Structure 1
Amino acid sequence: MRPAELDRLTVAEAADRYVELVRARTVTGALSSSTAEVYARDVATLVELAGADAVLDDLTGADVDALLLAFARRPDGRLRSPSGGQSPSSQARFRRSISALFKHATLAGWVQINPMTASTVTSKERGGLRPQRRALTREQAQGLIGAARTLGDVAPPEGKRRDQRTELRDAVIVLLLATVGPRVSELVRANVEDFFTNDGVRYWRIFGKGGRTRDVPLPDDVAAVLQEYLARGRA
């Protein structure tokens, strides 16, 4: 149930209260600390774009549209050419972050109506995919996966130190990403002991966001390349 009285907070005051709440959720394990910091960073950007002294309840759907477009056009310092604006994934993340804030604001009585429901700007208007971010074609993807599957049968290259032989490692990375579909962060955090065998089936215990885990069975050909990598691909 919504509060009876509206609390007319400024954008800065609402942001401070919301970020404090988000960081408190890391204590219970509801959010990871890295996710909480992403929310905090996006909310800080909202304050910068909207103005710290603006009243949160005064923001309309048109204002939200303007904020989304302003964020999309901000230079991305991680890119070599910062003039291109934010990537589509960064834009989508920012929208999710401020949507979560306004959803809480509606329940907490900081706004009468959630302005996100009146936002009309589309992803295409925010910028869309850049040409250099196009995906592989089906044929290219199949060729990449096929090459990775055959690397387990290839003899290690001569003239390279053991720690320089990354072919099997790269094959395992491609196959796990393509067949299991983990987050890249989940793959990077994987340890040898996270891969185990149960009743003849090889599993990967994935440690996900918020401390959640899931055991995913690996296809036989992926498990075979993984075993080759563990046997002769690691120092």
Structure 2
Amino acid sequence: MSRGDRSTRAMHQALPPALREAVDNFAEHLSRVRNRSTHTVRAYVTDLVSLFDHAVRMGCVDLAELDLSVLRSWLARQRTTGAARTSLARRAASARAFSAWAHRAGLLPSDVGAALASPRAHRELPGVLRADQAAALVDGPTRRVTPTDPPPTDLPDTHRAPTHHPGTGPAAGPTPGEAAVPLRDRVLLELLYATGVRVSEACGLDVADVDHGRRVIRVFGKGGRERSVPYGVPAQRALDDWLRQGRPAMVGAHSGDALLLGARGGRLNPTTARQIVGAYAEAAGLPRTSPHGLRHSAATHLLEGGADLRAVQELLGHSSLASTQIYTHVSVERLRAAYRQAHPRA
């Protein structure tokens, strides 16, 4: 448990019983009814515990006493302690979501959070790779499939070549599991870039989620929403190689139906997947890159290639078109850069 989790738990236990019960019931509503992820529920609970701790300090010990002034005072205090605009916006959203739920549940006489304004979160343009850089990244593992080409030494431990100890005889070649790692890495990179899925979605794929005939994968995104995402021929080749040669060599007792496997045979962890992407980017001499950077790159390249914004929204699994529109800004910035470089009167 992190220090922040321990602090939140301590504040939660110190709340009056009515407020503590309200937090617990709202968390259960988010988890069971709204089907929110554990991470999302934890974030909401952290925000609410902070809000109620502030309310108690202001003398509000009953939920019915919660009003707009308390909410505004809480956000103002967050701002004076240095909270970023994005954090303030998220906390205001947490307060509004709780207020709406509590009013529907009869715990609040009115939806006091409906009038709560929040600072507009500053949205920085996401960094994206050029198409040739993305190609160099996803092609990285293919340069390591042959045993005669040793892996870079700066990749994660699961990628390192077996160590030969003096006096133990000739150095052995890679085991089947070690030889399968580049095939796993290749299919991971291909799928992330070809489909633009989130890293958690990629790691959550099962073998049965791949429709080889139609070349689509079935993805379960935020809130358990299901969508079908197409992929191309390079990703299909990577999938075929992985399922035919790679996965059987890495499969273990805890593999289940997972498509992508870790070094010990279990489902590939998103943290490990992030390390894999970052290591291959560094080995290829590319800017620092994450799976989310590949998602940004896929969306931007689709739009620059003429894809419809609504289609990209569906592919990415965005519930709001506003989330997808940020990628149009990236394309405009590239257009401006090209204009300034090429036009005689720029």
TM-score class normalised by the smaller sequence: 0.5 to 0.7
Q: Structure 1 residues 178 and 102 mapped into 2: Cα distance closer, same or farther (>3 Å)?
A: farther
State the shift of 1:56 in Å: 1.2
Per the alignment, residue 136 of structure 2 pairs with 147
Is residue 51 from structure 1 mapped to residue 42 from structure 2 by the alignment?
no
Alignment partners' CA distance in 2, 1:11 and 1:144: 55
Per the alignment, residue 100 of structure 1 pairs with 97
Alignment partners' CA distance in 1, 2:225 and 2:243: 26
Per the alignment, residue 201 of structure 1 pairs with 214
Is residue 230 from structure 1 mapped to residue 243 from structure 2 by the alignment?
yes
Q: Structure 1 residues 113 and 194 mapped into 2: Cα distance closer, same or farther (>3 Å)?
A: closer
Is residue 136 from structure 1 mapped to residue 109 from structure 2 by the alignment?
no
Alignment partners' CA distance in 1, 2:71 and 2:47: 18
SS in 1 for 2:67: helix
Question: Given residue 156 of structure 1, which amino acid in structure 2 is its aligned partner?
Answer: V
SS in 2 for 1:59: helix
Per the alignment, residue 163 of structure 1 pairs with 177
SS in 1 for 2:119: coil
CA RMSD between the two structures = 3.8
Per the alignment, residue 16 of structure 1 pairs with 21
Alignment partners' CA distance in 2, 1:16 and 1:70: 29
State the shift of 1:169 in Å: 2.8
Alignment partners' CA distance in 2, 1:151 and 1:185: 22
State the shift of 1:66 in Å: 1.4
For 2:196, which of 181, 194, 201 is the aligned residue?
A: 181
Question: TM-score, normalising length from structure 2?
Answer: 0.46
Alignment partners' CA distance in 2, 1:145 and 1:49: 47
| Contact persistence 1:196–1:204 (CA under 8 A) | yes
Q: Structure 1 residues 145 and 91 mapped into 2: Cα distance closer, same or farther (>3 Å)?
A: farther
Residue by residue over 1:29-54, the C-alpha shift from the partner in whole angstroms, topping out at 9 and shown as x without a partner, is x3146143443233223223443642
State the shift of 1:188 in Å: 1.9
Per the alignment, residue 217 of structure 1 pairs with 230
Question: Given residue 41 of structure 1, which amino acid in structure 2 is its aligned partner?
Answer: T
Question: Given residue 188 of structure 1, which amino acid in structure 2 is its aligned partner?
Answer: C
Alignment partners' CA distance in 2, 1:181 and 1:92: 26
Residue by residue over 1:48-67, the C-alpha shift from the partner in whole angstroms, topping out at 9 and shown as x without a partner, is 34436423115356325315
Alignment partners' CA distance in 1, 2:70 and 2:53: 17
For 1:191, which of 198, 201, 206 is the aligned residue?
A: 206
Alignment of 1:81-92 (within 5 A): 88=86
Q: Structure 1 residues 192 and 97 mapped into 2: Cα distance closer, same or farther (>3 Å)?
A: same
Q: Structure 1 residues 211 and 171 mapped into 2: Cα distance closer, same or farther (>3 Å)?
A: same
Alignment partners' CA distance in 1, 2:88 and 2:185: 30
Unmatched 5+ stretches in structure 2 = 1-14, 151-160, 162-173, 250-346
State the shift of 1:101 in Å: 0.8
State the shift of 1:210 in Å: 4.2
Task: Among all aligned residue pairs of Structure 1 and Structure 2, give the percentage whose two residues are the same amino acid.
Answer: 23
Unmatched 5+ stretches in structure 1 = 1-9, 74-85
Per the alignment, residue 31 of structure 1 pairs with 35
Question: Given residue 243 of structure 2, which amino acid in structure 1 is its aligned partner?
Answer: L
SS in 1 for 2:35: coil
Question: Given residue 163 of structure 1, which amino acid in structure 2 is its aligned partner?
Answer: G
Question: Given residue 177 of structure 2, which amino acid in structure 1 is its aligned partner?
Answer: D
Residue by residue over 1:72-123, the C-alpha shift from the partner in whole angstroms, topping out at 9 and shown as x without a partner, is 63xxxxxxxxxxxx794x6654443222112224544626463463425343
Question: Given residue 98 of structure 1, which amino acid in structure 2 is its aligned partner?
Answer: A
